[in-house]
Chains A and B, each alone.
Chain A
Amino acid sequence: MSDTTQTGPIDMGSSAGNGKGDKPGPMLAADGRPLKRSLNRALRRQKLRALALIAPLLIFVLLTFIAPIADMLFRSVENDIVSNTLPSTTEALEGWDHTTGEAPSEAVFEDFYFDLFLASEAKEHTKLGTRLNYEKTGVSSMFRSTGRGLDDIGDDYLDQLEVIDKRWGDGAFWYALMSGTGTPAPEVVKARRKVLTRMSGDVLTGDVGFAPSNAIATLLPTTVRAYSDFAVYTALVDGKDVAKRDPWESVYVGLILDLNKADVSGYTGPEADALKAVKAALPEIKQVSLQSFFQSEDKDWVDPSVWATIQTYSPKYTSGYFLNAIDMQLTPDGIQMRPENEQIYIMLFKRTLFMSMMIMGSCILLGYPVAWLLANLPSKSANLLMILVLLPFWTSLLVRTSAWKVMLQQQGVINDVLVWLGLVSDGDRLVMINNQFGTIVAMTHILLPFMILPLYSVMQTIPPTYLRAAKSLGATNWTAFWRVYFPQSIPGIGAGSILVFILSIGYYITPEIVGGTTGTFISNRIAYHISSSLNWGLGAALGAILLACVLILYWAYDRIVGIDNVKLG
């Protein structure tokens, strides 16, 4: 910048310095501020106003469209249900090696018992069962049936405890024992509260009304943990007074387990005598290992492959859904292809792409002449034709699709006419519905306007003089069309193709109604997982792959044709 270009009388000294230097300084506005900043300030108001104008729509779209989609896509990798429902078990399983072919140790089963007890009280264990059932068939029923039998072992212990001291069945007695005296240790309750919150996904408010003493928490950790579970659930979910309720059966199991290891002789807290009495009578108590308890509930609990599945799916995020969506699976031994007879999704993706291409192609073939007519007829006839093109838009999608069902079925209009004409014998009527043919025909009809309208709008802008010029230069009608008219209509074909292809790749209703088994799309499978099998993670993964496919195709299209060449109007 030279001095002469600067208009401001202010700050001549520094601007002169700028001007003489090799590096030009920033251009200044009349008030001495940098021109760029002044310009930005001047434009900011306009930008803000523009933003305020689109804000309602933007917020609406964000809340009702972008956010749900993002949430849904997130489910394709989210997998915290295992670690939330079985927090201690997944931790304990970390050290277990599934290749040994043996079931995990008794310690893992102990953690699993208490995790599962809380989960079954909170009725979360069946959800986990369903989740794991996607990966290993049969797990769901194991969780459901075992959840019903969890009380049995505790009941057995209680019966034996009550023989020693009647008070073991009394809630207030337990409350006094667990509360103890001396320094309280509220962190145990806090931790269990957190576990329940994560597991149920609910916000738990209020005061538990229970805190174990430090001494008892150290002496009987498992019992205190089980009792804390009971206390948190009773106080916060059921809204009852902990002191007046009988504890869960898991607490008795915890007590027996603790007493096997603990030395209670030095304990002086409340009901210390009762504890000592049980410790003394311990050899008489009939104990069952938790592993054999679970084995008696369902023998598959000692099957290492079940535990390997739990171990494989214990991380918070998983690639399992995506692998499933491309006919692979995440096994304890790594990523593997699914067995041949279970592969379906790659085939469905290929079919969806192929059929979308077919639909796009037939839309071009059928739509191009119509669009040409629309663009070249006198406006009166063109308007009438335009109404006919738009007519399908004003009819319900379901009605149109059902109409095709009537037309194409074996006892339908077309077959009847063919039989009547004698072209087809009554015995072998054509199968035109519930297969790919039916889907392609019906969807071509439904998506045709999306091809015709962009084509028409592009063709309208091509002046007829080009064709005349070509003919005057010696081109035949065909050459004039092919060399001069057609290249100029390509942007319309491009726009129409993108519209039709992207719409058809995600189409659901029509393939569902007329597609049968061979004419369904990947979207039908997604819908199945969202509404019937409730495997939302897999549905989300399939949807994410479909979205990625569309984006990649769009990108490729942009590279090949150029998105600037697309005209929608």
Chain B
Amino acid sequence: MASTSDSEAFVAFERVQKSYDGETLVVKDLNLSMPKGEFLTMLGPSGSGKTTCLMMLAGFETATHGEILLDGTSINNIPPHKRGIGMVFQNYALFPHMTVGENLSFPLEVRKIGKSEREKKVMRALDMVQMGDFANRRPAQLSGGQQQRIALARALVFEPELVLMDEPLGALDKQLREHMQFEITRLAHELGITTVYVTHDQTEALTMSDRVAVFNDGRIQQLAPPDVLYEEPENSFVAQFIGENNTLEGTVKEISGNTCTVQLDGGELISARPINVTKPGDRTRVSIRPERVEMNKERLQEGVHLLKAEVLEFIYMGDIFRTRLRVAGRDDFVVKTRNAPDQVRLKRGETIEIGWLPEDCRALEA
């Protein structure tokens, strides 16, 4: 679970709860700490509490219980404008009646920074996002991607140490989004800013972050670097939510150290790594990534359990083949194979045998 705060933490949530109506908790007992310079993403389905957490950090919502610390001091009672946190909003929130330059100089003006310095900083910020020529345009005259850059520059122009981003790329098309993902991470690392990024797009979370906090139902389900999150999900929600995943249900037959045997509901036996099952007889969901399923028996170790599978669909996707199989009575078992010269192209109705390394197959709680 989430690590508790320590003195090193730059941002820390301590036992934070939030309720809007006094009946249900939107955020339940949130504990989170992040060091300076980290890029942390809050990922989760809508209604999972991630945006609420961000708003509490920004100061637009107050925590019902618990404390939020910034650089060691509680900010619960500090109004948003005194927190000095940069923020990029979902729809950019560029002020439509001001030019780009005026938008950027606004945070400097309210900080009573002199005119010449203001102009210098605005130009530097605009250059940083490669929008130096656009200072006199109005936001409505810019494309979505350009507005996004300006919003970013505005959040950075007053040199905050912490920047919050609330689904900032949601309105962009795929190509632009990927480009901006790169830009944002580059800037964050170059400037050494601590960033909290909220998204419901897991690819975005995986590609951009140092660590990802997966939210569901008002709690952090897992807080880990992207690779750990993908390879070693701690529970079936995370396994399902991050990346594509095949799930099979069954009962634990026996556990011995790092491996266990699971009897699927159809009677087949498979090997898996026990994650949060403790004793034989536990109901479990085993999770295996589509790309870790092996169809070539020669590549598997001796003695691994094999399963019979019927090809239902074979889709050619260019770089990979995606095959849908019927395995142990389920129709949604997906296998991804690289488009290599020696890879066989399967036909519908063919019956094959599949297997996997026990460490790639994780037995999670049911």
Contacts and interface: CB of A to CB of B under 8 A. Distances in A.
B87 A474 contact: no
A468 B89 contact: yes
Interface in B92-119: 93, 95-97, 106-107, 110-111
B84 A474 contact: yes
A334 interface: no
A473 B110 contact: yes
Contact of B81 (A463, A466, A474): A474
A472 B58 contact: yes
Interface in A473-502: 473-477, 479-480, 483-484, 487-488
Contacts of A480: 81
B106 A472 contact: no
Contact of A472 (B87, B91, B95, B111): B87
A476 B106 CA distance: 12
B106 A475 contact: yes
B107 A465 contact: no
A524 B126 CA distance: 61
Interface size class of B (residues with CB under 8 A): 20 to 34
B316 interface: no
Given A465-B91, A468-B60, A474 B110 contact: yes
A469 interface: yes
A463 B91 contact: yes
A488 B94 CA distance: 12
A466 B103 CA distance: 11
B158 interface: yes
B89 A475 contact: no
Contacts of A476: 81, 110
A514 B71 CA distance: 65
Contacts of B211: none
Interface string A129-165: 0000000000000000000000000000000000000
A474 B58 CA distance: 11
A469 B90 CA distance: 11
Interface string B120-153: 0000000000000000000000000000000000
Nearest to B58: A472
A470 interface: yes
A469 B93 contact: yes
B85 interface: yes
Contacts of B83: 472
B80 A472 contact: yes
B226 interface: no
B247 to A, nearest CB: 39
Nearest to A476: B81
A466 B93 contact: yes
A250 B254 CA distance: 139
Contact of A469 (B89, B110, B158): B89
B96 A475 contact: no
Interface in B53-95: 58-60, 79-87, 89-91, 93, 95
A468 B93 contact: yes
Contact of B97 (A465, A473, A474, A487): A487
A472 B96 contact: no
Given A487-B97, A488-B97, A472 B110 contact: no
Contact of A466 (B80, B95, B111, B154): B95
Interface of A: 463, 465-466, 468-477, 479-480, 483-484, 487-488
Given A466-B93, A472-B58, 8 more contacts: A465-B90, A471-B59, A472-B81, A472-B87, A473-B87, A474-B111, A476-B110, A488-B96
